[in-house]
Amino acid sequence: MTSKKYVVEPLDTHKHDRATFSCGVATLDAYLKTQANQEGKKKIAVTYVLVEQDTAAIIGYYTVSAASIETIRLPEELARRLLRYNALPAMLIGRLAVDQHYRGQRFGELLLVNALKRCSNISQEIGAMAVLVDAKDEGAVQFYERYGFRRFIDRPMSLYMPMEEIRQLT
């Protein structure tokens, strides 16, 4: 990255240029262009965008929403330390994408770290024991694993990180 000033802020369809965003994954591009604003209004997921300060071009984005995780999906060593509920509260990073023009500049890492800090802060207010992600492909799985996420045995494209570990990182 250069010395330019970057900010992560909530998507504002009047301020941010969604039309030119292209990460190379059609579903992620379409989501930002056609669904993100509607889901934000309906309180389904909130989209945060990374932009160079005072510009409209979106470098990347992620979404955050509340989620739950079935306790039986967690590894036994983690589940036995938790209360015996059928499901536990979590946060979901539903989508994370970087425009193709900005690849290789660690903007994906910047977005992920920002999302994890946001989830950690929110969990102090509402309670959440983990952050979940659903990877689109094996490359995305490897990206999340580099930062400490672990796969669920029954769904290898879904990963989690306990909130206690996130707090130690952020």
The residues carrying an active-site annotation are 144
Beta strand 130-134 with 87-98: parallel, antiparallel or unpaired? parallel
CA–CA gap between residue 10 and residue 79 (Å, rounded): 34
* Cβ(50)–Cβ(21) below 8 Å: no
